[in-house]
Structure 1
């Protein structure tokens, strides 16, 4: 009952809030929004709680074509359901608002939602027509005349519909923009220079409209302007003087000459009629007949060379324009003697083909020319057509030589068709011609040329022997053997070089020729791999490929090939020896080289020490590994495989440092075996495993073990660097120290026996005395004086009496072989005390008096349990 009252109260509050707000929700969405776009959180804006929209069936009342949005029943959000086009919904109206009705049931409520569809620049300006034709008269239309044009329209609104206009460049027209009543720009075409139809009959311009959207959209309209003609040009003859040679035996009605006058105007302004204004001598008026329409002059009688040798006719051409314009020319008619024999051309010698390297002046053919006429009619002139690259040279009367005037190039022109033309001096002249075919023979004057000066070839390593790497091609425009190209790998000088990781040369330690890696097919130019490529051996191979033709002498061309070997993940990580186990003279480079050469094992057992109570984060050991690959293939990460449970140790993902995950306590046990996987980032990944055995010792033991290991490493480094004294000096020093040590040991051995007996037979109460400070009895040459403030262990005999605190370090012992640690390696506490107590001073004495000798065992006694020794 209370819940119903709360619900009713909420409805009343919502109704009141809705009434106060005006009962309307406004949203805005851009047109062309994709389906599924969220317009607004309708349920939340209406004050509905989560899930109430679906429970009360919040939905949109369908409104026909305007139903482009919908209400999500689950979220109550207003979504776009179909394409919204503002121009289709509201045309040019602004703003474009859609009124929607939202229905809510239980209780039934109707809400009004106003959705504003905002405009985007999705419509380009559109002209009424793609082309507009204009006609403007030449010369009569003055510059400054204006011709209104129809502007473009844009379906968008606002800035997207603000149009600007531009006109393609023209020296005769410009564009001016005028504002209309609606504040739209109306373009006007302005004439800036008078038109000349005979110069440019038609002007083609492009009017471009651009809107103000971002990005701007454009529309174009072509303006086709035709220039109307005016009679501003007089007829013009194509020659100012026509010279005509008429044979005296010409028949009546023969065409003497045809004059031609043209008028660049149009229509009647270009229609021309011909007339003879004057003829000298006047006797020619009855001899020549003129066609007024065609301008042809025909022979209406006979001419006699002995009577009149020449005539002059004044010609006039008049158009039909208003006013009419006219042009004039003169026809000179010469009556010539009869010439009825044409010249003859004979070839007496022809030397073909002509080599393309023939020198200028080489004689190609000998010609003989004759004419049976006499006088001028028998005088012959000859020439070659086309004029180049050959010419004629007269040797003596009637004989000519066809000679080479320019250098030949067979690759440009392989054969010439030459025509020798002859013309006599008759009137009219008679002509004859003789065609010659002159082929050009090839000379090896073009060296093979590669398409590229440098070829870059990418090849993955471990490719199959005989795989095709690339295809080279050289072009030789010569023919036959001069253009037949063969390919080879050129081993010339430093042109063939290879680089490996060591900085130059191959991984084998010496220079290898490029021909040991690749080969090129002599005919096809295909580049083959002779053997699988190894990125670790070779990264870049640069060599030259030579292309040689078969000419005499042969010509060649070279191209440089840069072969880049791409790395594959074909090398597993290689574990490096622990730091200090190898000489330091080589450094990291020597270790990396050993790993690259395959010296690193795939799996190795390493040893480390940790102190009881070591805090979290203390580095215990560092796993070192390298990968012969590069890039991601050589990026290593370290993972702890065993133990899988939360143990006391962890390993750095990329550093390889093994550190404590928490503080170590006695419950962790004396030894831990960690299985560490070293994995690269290649595809597929490769890995190596390392077994790390961590022994938990007392704090002082762990410190001395680390110090002993460092001293051993330093000693090995000095030995590798040649720091040891000579054999003679070392032997003499050793003998002296041995004598001193034996004497001291003998004396101290007796003292140790006495002290051991005293401590053995001392009363039990003295043995269980209070704790005292820890005292370091002695240390080996690699240790240092220190005090242990960490854990101490009580070693008791069978009857439970405490004997002594004992810490034993063996830092210089080699690690035990892999496998389970032996269970019976530690003696009983009492036996250990009995054994060490007597020999402790012996080891300490030898270590103190013979520093050149290395004893790996370090004995540390705590005086609180040995009554015989003072604090």
Structure 2
């Protein structure tokens, strides 16, 4: 090995680059470097050969990726040169195979590129020839004829080509000479030839030195000592029936398989003809551990497994030795060719993996670089690759045995957040062998989904007089993105209430009524709500994610304020009048502390006149009242509290008309004081009271009393009422002066009134039944500006109220398919209930089921009574 070290130093001084050419078609750089080159030896200017600028190799991270083995070369980061990093031993890397090449992959980042580099490791003469043993004993009969040949075991050289071409020399001898015999193109066998008859008595032993020299420069040598013993007797050596045996075996042949059977014959007799066999001179040397021969039968069998990838041919010699004294031997050669079988599965190496992959990555993006190899040869070593599942990734072949895993379909992290990709490699053997390499490819999120509410429109019911800060509802928007891209915040976007919604205070933004928690989406009231001020508040809630750029979604919220009975009935002044010549007298009592409306108070003193002998049913006065609430809470009823029992007067339960219950008599006295209570239907009910003083008069005053009902009920006051409760003297005189004209006017007005009532009755009762019983969807009638708002679906619907009552109706729903209430109106003012309507739902209140409704009809009013559960 000292000579080999000198060779390494000489080669390290000047590196021979056989080829450094960039192959445009294949994309491969080839270099050559001798084995045993010193560490740091420059193999080639890789960065320059790849077309990189100065400094670009280090900036773009030029690096090597070896295929399954430790590379003995590396890339210098600063210069981009390919240099030797550790000892290169061609014999260790490739054995006897030629040429010996290191196949490397070179990667460049930003952008990712791959190049293929092949470094051929050339042989130097660093291995001297070696004989199997340091000495060899040879026995030669003294009667051996001249030119007798004695095969010698040749030397082996681990080098290749000319460095392994051996030549032999023999030390000078007058009895023996050396002849070289070439058995095939690979091996030269030395034979010892007898050139002069031997004389055991003069010289019984010859010591010669056989020297083997290789073809290197300088040549290396190996020696073996030949100890030749001159024997007597046995003069016939065994002879084989053929000189060369050629055998083929598959590499998967099992241990004990018969390789060949050789046979030799010896014409001698007796013990001199008994032959034993031995296998010698194995090339390569490990053949002696894999092949053996039976010493008596000559059967050659396997004693170990064959491997085509390690050695494809075994050459060895068989020696047939007799048992004579001295023994003689004959020789033959055996050539065993190993046939390749598909016993090596493909190997898949991941040389680079770029994960995670953004879900908006462009098609064709390289996810990973793969290297595939198979140690078998021919079809057994040809590998096909595929990806399972086939989408959204695919393989693109970049070079022999190299592939890129690329993106072929668009990704969606919300559908699949991670892929388990299998790269399957299959060779062309029969049967084929496969290898699977699993890759985990996570998908990173981008903000490509806007928050989406569960509903486009939310209907929220809130009772008035709610506490400030009370939670009204909870809104939720879903964003399937992750982390900040899926973190949603809420805000009130737009909307409000206009001046038409309530008391006329002008438009106010929704943010002055409600707020939404940015994180939880809880909708809260900023202040108590007042149904009389605000019935419906419509606004938008916006959900915005924290992505870049942020995305948003909107939902409409319809907030309906549900009325509570927080307003007591308020008495109204007489119709058609104002105070007139009398003054208003408002009571100081209030029926409820929650009363908010009615500037006239809740207790009144009123007076009216009635004529002696007036028939039963004549209207003498009408009590007018209004309730600021809506719906059932504003439905008023009138009750006569005093006098109790059978008095001469009665009051309409829903009309408020005070009429005679019977004919008036003198026994009834000159004056009747009535205490009338106006009560709503709320829970609890609120009320107001009115005191009505009725003076019984006759003559012209009776006519005035009848006319006074149309003009309104007079309100008692100090200026218009005498001390006895009747009109004062001055007022009576003024009234008498106009009696004649009033009678004429009353007659004309009465005629017109009768005609109007007839026409109104005909138009009211006849068609209404058809409307109420006609088919069609349910109609929603709600409060309007003057007290109610309404709309109808497909068909018009009519809601009748008292002709002289306040212009206000209730929130009610009725089914057009229900029949009208049957039976005549009650003459005494009590109500009649028609058949109960079927359960109904408020169309504007999603998922809110309401209760029962019933039709109530009085003499002058058609009401629909309903209750909400």
Q: Do the two structures share a fold, i.e. TM-score over 0.5?
A: no
Q: TM-score with structure 1 length normalisation?
A: 0.42
- The structure number with the bigger radius of gyration is 2
